[in-house]
Structure 1
Amino acid sequence: MASGFNWRAAIAIAVFAGGAQAQSISSGTYVLDGGSYSIEVINQGDTLLVKEPNRDSPYKRHPDGSWRFYNPNTDANYAIRYIDPATIEAYKPDQPGNVPSRLNRLGGAPAAEAAPAAPAAAPSPSGRTDFGSIADGYMRRALDEPDDVQVWSFCAAAAKKREVSTAAEADAYALKAAESLKLILTDTSRSPCEDVISPTLWSVGGSGDGASAATPLPRPELSDADKARLADLNAKADARAEAGKAEAARFEAAQQAYRDRVAEVKGAEAKFARDQAAYEAEAARVKAAEEAYQRQMEEWRRATGNPGA
């Protein structure tokens, strides 16, 4: 990030597009040099609308060819200007020494500026466009893999966004999803769902310092039916987790009962061994006493001459 300019503050208050003519600024997702922040720009003719997760800012054309936005909360003017078809700069026009921040359009310069597009899904890297089915698949994975429920929920939301939004809106959402995913994944070398968060978007989203200060991803805009289905999936996941805990407790109880039984058997075996040793010792003592008695009787018979006694 360029020194001398608080880009997050500027973007939070301003819109960007930049150029001498409104048509020179192309709608799309723009990323700050270094990849630490991104915004969506919508060219509305006389207005450039900059969309962020927590605000929208309208920039109006200025006589000097730039676009200006006044923020009454900070009592400051913010501006953007056109650099080339794929680049804009954001700066503070009232501060002559201010260093501008440069942003690059994701995907480069467009072939031609088109009218605002109707919501339409852009193909995934695999060529698929059935994002509803892709979202369902990730929701099933969230149910089947409770340890990774957050990861697959983000992937499902990104797929759903591609189903109902423009490609630019879906890319912007995917960038924010990438930021959030990189905060919870241990391996951030690749996207966990490249069919909805492409390797290019993954490499940009949450890179640099932005990964450690990412703006929380807004809750996905889901229909009531999707919300109900997600709630049902979460309830089933909770039930399966509880059932798993109960089964683990039952197994542990059975294992403990087995260990107790083994200890009981070993105790009985040890007692038997002690009793057996005592019996054998007593038997040996009795036998020795009998043998001593027999010897005494033999000696008495010889001494008395009474062999029949």
Structure 2
Amino acid sequence: MKQIFFLLTLMMPFVMKAQTLKPGYYKSQDGYITVTVNQEGDAINMKDQAGDHVYRNEGGTYRNTNPKYSNFTINVVDADHFQSLKNGAGAHTWTYSGKAPSAEDFVKDEENEEDCEMAQRYMELAQKGGDDTQVNTFCGAAALMKCNMNAEGFAEYARQTIASLKQILVNPGVNPCTDVFTAAQWSAN
């Protein structure tokens, strides 16, 4: 038994390296985010709402080549699944969907661009400090999720975020980030 385990342990790196992802679309484990993946040799090319990313093989783990995102890695599980990690933790499994994403999977580029820019503005306001730092952080995080999620995913995220945000506001009836949450979202939560 020990010999079989030893042999399996020795073979694991070769099996892991042999895995190649199918080219196509992959959905996040919650189903809210879709990315395009194409693996060529020792590189995995990924396109998401935020742009294009290249991950290079480093002994079975693929690391983002952009120094800004070098703490993001990918582990190939099999031809239909990969895990994304940040700082080696918090594995999120992605599953091959094969088909082109629907309109709900990707936010239109113009809207996506606006939401991403809005997230940046809120984060800059939060970094300046002041009485609204915590509110601006919530609004910035929500805008970032709106930038990266489909409508269904953002609706769920908005519900949870609005409930948390209302707990810290002096006047929870007033939406502090009307450009992120609609009036209907705010009043429903």
TM range (shorter): 0.3 to 0.5
Normalized per residue, the structure richer in strand is 2
Normalized per residue, the structure richer in helix is 1
Give the TM-score taking structure 1 as reference length: 0.29
Q: Which has the larger radius of gyration?
A: 1
Give the TM-score taking structure 2 as reference length: 0.45
